[in-house]
DNA sequence: GATGGCAATGTTAGCGCTACCATCAATGCG
DNA sequence: CGCATTGATGGTAGCGCTAACATTGCCATC
């Protein structure tokens, strides 16, 4: 029979020659492709996954057959057979806050390039839903999990370890990573900001900060450094995570009530800082002459606020790419020597401080 | 043998009694659970998936066995066997722009509640990567695909249709949906804004708008309505998507050069509007007394800008939830009578216009 | 007491793919 | 020339789960 005569153009057509059970999705399978190409299923499989282990002739015939049939590999079946799902899960508190967006975006892209797909899970800022979510994720047998700005429960760590799935923690630098880690020291950020403000001549420092764990670390560093420099904080305001422009405005209002003479405000996010800038404008208080404003994150808008926001730059993009690299390396079976990467941060001096 | 004596506490333990091949993930399987519970595999499966088809006794024994073994179902295997992957894919241009975030978040949550997981794909604003991405997605055999703010190629539509996967298009109201749709009319948004501004007494209208398709529809509506009302646009500025605060500032600068006497600016996103507000502040132009600013999206910060932003409210949350409902309904085999839902929009009057 | 219906459970046979081993021809080497 | 080695290919047997059908025991019905 000539090759071109038995291309399965549709299931109905094929059903006339090949008996089909009532089960199954009814779509084209690798076996169909193999039949069209005139090779065995396993050769077709190799043509897709390890093309260099197949003769040039066989390769071409399989590729032909694929494009003629419109075959799309079933990765559920492939994952089941090979124990490599080519899925990676990312856990974030919420994607509503713009902080992790850059990281998630970079992660998605870098993984897609390597043929992996991202599964998104939002745990909320409460750890409660995390465990249920973890089960759903582990059930997919992902080749890796990226934890982004998550405080994970001990139970969660245990399950992750037990499942034997590579884990990358990001956006933090814990002393005891579960597996791999790419982040920076929040405490050192706080220290650097305090030192910057001090050396710029500010002495009446205050802080508006979210109530999440990492913001707390930055605050600790900030306060410790301030104390070491001989200045004490004149005010502090804790707002709930995720931060908003509104809570920044409210925070400044609160702060000015506490300490009308404040001359520099460190905000735990750029959004918060933008809120402070907004409230200052509404009150006709000039920044930075009346007081300085310092942000965190260097989000896209930071350079375009009025005045332009001085802030801490975190390379969320690099974090995402590095996390993807970690996962892919591990999934391909290569060993990783340096499992902890400190990407650091930098201070971007603009006009607000 | 008493039940408690053969709990597989670990693979190593189990390997002493049950011969294992070198393949497989090495984790606990449903068969292990069934053995511990003293029932057949299928009964254990039913206990998990259709608990009401199993006696109370069997149910309890299986649940016991699950918690004792720490079993987590392998959804790759389940999906393969049942052709229901419990995966849903979402395609967005990018998650970096905050517009679709609310929708993606709602989608993730609503799906998680129903036991589905979200797979995220970013196509970029170019349609080029869309096809490759589509293959990767179809390969996972998701139970549904949510298209968010996507201009899909004809080829893409064909593949989607061919794969037989339920599709929900969102954030738009095309006359020819692929399958299901939840959105609103962008053109009517443009009309409503023009009418609002007109009846508020503004006569020298201008627009700053992104170059994406849906923003174009709003612009068309805006211009048509303005013309019908007998006022013509004094200026227009097209900026690249995704929009930023910076492009809003640049847009206003451009606009003021075109038409110094403009008295109302319709921006195609709140971010853009915030940029306009910022530039106005930098130039010491009072809003709305010098000119009015109208946004789009009613993002979280819109109520807290100075002056508070008048804008078009889109319920991104509702869009996400409705899309999830559509997909789940279809996945469970229920039929949907009304496949197109117009969620509409509302104008939120604040201080900027 | 035979019959049908139903509820609970089990057996079998895949889902679509790949790991593993076997096969076979072609090559290299002493 | 015999033997190991390599490269290309194929057959078989799963991966862990569930659909489809079969079986069993029980009760209500005629």
Residue A238 pLDDT > 60: yes
**CA-based nearest residue in chain A for residue B25:** A83
Q: What is the pLDDT of residue B158?
A: 86
Question: Is some CB atom of chain A closer than 8 A to the CB atom of B174?
Answer: no
Give B82's contacts (C-beta < 8 A, 6+ positions apart): none
User: Nearest residue of B to residue A283 by CA position?
Assistant: B306
A258 contact to strand C (CB, 7 A limit): no
How far apart are alpha carbons A352 and B321 in whole angstroms?
Answer: 40
Most distant pair of Cα atoms in chain B: their distance: 91
Which of the four pLDDT bands, split at 50, 70 and 90, describes residue A11? very low
Q: Considering the entire predicted model, what is its pTM?
A: 0.88
B224 touches chain A (CB under 8 A): no
> Per-residue pLDDT tens for B54-101?
999 999 999 999 999 999 999 999 999 999 999 999 999 888 777 888
Give the pLDDT of residue A13: 36
Asked if A278 and B104 come within 8 Å (Cβ–Cβ), the reply is no
Summarize pLDDT for A84-99 with one digit per residue, the tens.
999 999 999 888 777 8
Cα–Cα distances (Å) from A104 to A129, B140, B278, B321, in that order, read 20, 20, 28, 22
Whether the ω angle into residue B307 lies within 30 degrees of 0, i.e. cis, is yes
Residue B124, phi-psi category: left (phi > 0), alpha (psi -120 to 50), beta (remainder): left
* Integer-rounded Cα radius of gyration of chain A: 27
Instruction: Give the closest residue to C9 (Cα–C1′).
Output: B43
Residues 182-221 of B with CB under 8 A from A: none
Q: Is the Cβ pair A275, B304 closer than 8 Å?
A: yes
Is B138 within 8 Å of A72 when comparing Cβ atoms?
yes
Within 7 A of a protein CB, which nucleotides of strand C? 7-21
Q: Who among B76, B115, B306 is closest to A76 (CB)?
A: B76
Check B163 against A72: CB less than 8 A apart. Answer: yes
Complete DSSP assignment for B213-278: HHHHHHHHHHHHHHHHTT---SEEEEEPSSP-HHHHHHHHHHHHHH-TT--EEEESSHHHHHHHHH
Residues 6+ apart with CB under 8 A from B97: B241, B242, B243, B271
Across the strands, what pairs with B208?
B237, B267
Using the structure, give the distance in angstroms from the CA atom of A154 to the C1' atom of D3, rounded to a whole number: 60
B 43-72: CB under 8 A from A: 70, 72
A76 touches chain B (CB under 8 A): yes
Protein-proximal nucleotides of chain D (any atom < 7 Å from a CB): 8-12, 14-21
Mutate to test the interface with A, among B21, B111, B117 (most CBs of A within 10 A): B117
Helix (H, G, I), strand (E, B) or coil at B351: coil
Subunit contact B104:A112, Cβ cutoff 8 A: no
Query: pLDDT value at position B126?
Result: 60
Cα separation, A121 vs A129, in Å, equals 10
pLDDT tens per residue across span A268-315: 999 999 999 999 999 999 999 999 999 999 999 999 999 999 999 999
Percent of chain B at pLDDT exceeding 70: 92
For residue B47, is it left (φ>0), alpha (ψ between -120 and 50) or beta? alpha
Span B307-336, average pLDDT: 94
Q: Is pLDDT at A74 greater than 50 in this prediction?
A: yes
Protein CA at A23 to nucleotide C1' at D23, angstroms: 22
* pLDDT, position B151: 67
| Average pLDDT for chain B | 90
DSSP reduced 3-state for B281 = helix
Distance CA A240, CA A269 (A): 12
CA distance A350 to chain B (A): 15
Do the Cβ atoms of B139 and A246 come within 8 Å? no
Give CA–CA dist B33/B53, Å, rounded: 18
A25 CB less than 7 Å from any atom of strand C: yes
Asked if A339 and A180 count as a contact pair (C-beta separation under 8 A), the reply is yes
Reduced 3-state DSSP string for chain A: CCHHHHCCCCHHHHHCCCCCCCCCCCCCCHHHHHHHHCCCHHHHHHHHHCHHHCCHHHHHHHHHHHHHHCCCCCHHHHHHHHCCCCEEEEEECCCCCCCCHHHHHHHHHHHHHCCCEEEEEECCCCCHHHHHHHHHHHHCCCCEEEEECCCCCHHHHHHHHHHCCCEEEECCCCCCCCCEEEECCHHHHHHHHHHHHHHCCCCCEEEEEECCHHHHHHHHHHHHHHHHCCCCCCEEEEECCCCCHHHHHHHHHHHHHHCCCCCEEEECCHHHHHHHHHHHHHCCCCCCCCCEEECCECCCCHHHCCCCCEEEECCHHHHHHHHHHHHHHHHCCCCCCCCEEECCCEEECCCCC
CA atoms within 13 A on the CB side of B262: 29
Q: Report helix, strand and coil shares of chain B as percent, to nearest 5.
A: 45, 15, 40
A128 inside 8 A of chain B by CB: no
Question: A305 in contact with B at a CB cutoff of 8 Å?
Answer: yes
Report pLDDT digits (tens) over A53-64: 999 999 999 999
Cross-chain CB nearest to A101 (options B75, B96, B112): B96
């Amino acid at each position: 029979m000539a090759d071109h005569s038995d291309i399965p153009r549709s299931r109905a057509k094929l059903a006339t020659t090949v008996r089909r059970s009532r089960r199954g999705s009814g779509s084209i399978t690798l076996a169909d492709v193999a039949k069209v190409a005139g090779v065995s299923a396993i050769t077709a499989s190799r043509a897709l996954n390890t093309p260099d282990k197949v003769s040039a002739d066989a390769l071409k015939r399989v590729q032909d057959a694929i494009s003629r049939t419109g075959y799309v590999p079933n990765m559920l079946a492939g994952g089941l057979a090979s124990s490599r799902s080519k899925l990676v899960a990312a856990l974030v508190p919420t994607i509503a806050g713009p902080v992790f967006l850059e990281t998630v975006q970079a992660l998605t892209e870098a993984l897609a390039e390597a043929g992996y797909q991202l599964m998104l899970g939002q745990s909320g800022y409460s750890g409660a839903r995390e465990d249920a979510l973890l089960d759903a994720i582990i059930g997919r047998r992902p080749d890796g999990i990226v934890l982004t700005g998550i405080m994970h429960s001990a139970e969660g760590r245990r399950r992750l370890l037990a499942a034997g799935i590579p884990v990358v923690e990001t956006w933090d630098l814990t002393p005891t990573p579960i597996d791999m880690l790419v982040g920076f020291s929040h405490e050192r950020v706080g220290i650097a900001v305090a030192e910057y403000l001090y050396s710029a001549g500010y002495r009446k420092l205050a802080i508006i900060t979210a109530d999440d764990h990492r913001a707390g670390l930055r605050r600790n560093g900030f306060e410790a450094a301030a104390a070491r420099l001989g200045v004490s904080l004149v005010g502090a305001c804790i707002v709930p995570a995720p931060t908003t422009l509104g809570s920044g405005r409210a925070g400044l209002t609160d702060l000015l009530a506490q300490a009308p003479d404040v001359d520099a405000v460190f905000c735990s996010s750029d959004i918060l800082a933008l809120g402070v800038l907004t409230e200052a404008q509404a009150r006709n208080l000039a920044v930075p002459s009346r007081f300085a404003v310092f942000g965190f994150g260097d989000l896209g808008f930071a350079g375009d606020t009025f005045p332009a926001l001085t802030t801490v730059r975190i390379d969320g993009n690099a974090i995402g790419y590095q996390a993807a690299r970690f996962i892919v390396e591990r999934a391909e079976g290569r060993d990783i020597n340096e499992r902890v990467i400190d990407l650091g941060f930098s201070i971007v001096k603009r006009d607000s401080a």
